[in-house]
Amino acid sequence: MTSILYIHGLNSSPTSTKASQLQQVAERCGIAPHLRVPALHHHPRQAIAQLQAAIAELGRPLLVGSSLGGYYATYLAEQHGLSALLINPAVSPHRLFDGYLGEQLNHYSGETWQLTQDHVDALAELEVPPPQDAERYHVWLQSADETLDYRQAERYYQGCQLDIQEGGDHSYQGFASRIAEILTLAGFAPARWADFDFSTL
């Protein structure tokens, strides 16, 4: 079954800009039943359990992962042999939290939670070698990402289908204009969005 599993990043949610835009398109194009955008738990082990359940429900979805969601998507794509589209993905995020343990705020839900060493250890458990089946991976990077150094992803995914844009930011500017590409990668028929104006998002 053609389907999409969208995986948001750290301290994000299904109400983030990219997730909301994707859900709007899915609703208007009649493919909402084939899209899942789970509100992920802040702890990696619980988040992965949620995502495993979504994959079991959807069958073989296209994984679309943003930031930390890209890291999760890579782990799951390798485990299940799935295709993935990664947007400014985190690489080895467990190495980035030095000095950042403690209280965190989810910017969308308002939830506060404690980032602990157990979170970091759980992230480390998900690390996989650079993908060997590079054809399954599309990686969209913007060079002015203020949160992650895009060159880390460029190196890690060097054998994959890389699309690097100059400028932009971590949220990935211009995402709405590329949603049709995502739907195509997922296998939906272009006729579904032939009359849709993506500039209205």
Domain locations along the chain? 4-200
Q: Are 135 and 161 in contact (CB under 8 A)?
A: yes
pTM of structure? 0.97
Q: Mind listing the pLDDT tens digit for each residue in 75-117?
A: 999 999 999 999 999 999 999 887 789 999 998 999 999 999 9
The whole-number pLDDT of residue 1 equals 58
CB atoms within 10 A of CB 162: 17
> How far apart are the two ends of the chain, measured CA to CA in Å?
27
Average pLDDT, the chain: 95
Residue 40 has pLDDT above 80, yes or no: yes
Given this structure, which CATH class describes domain 4-200?
alpha beta
- For 87, the enclosing helix (H) or strand (E) is strand 84-87
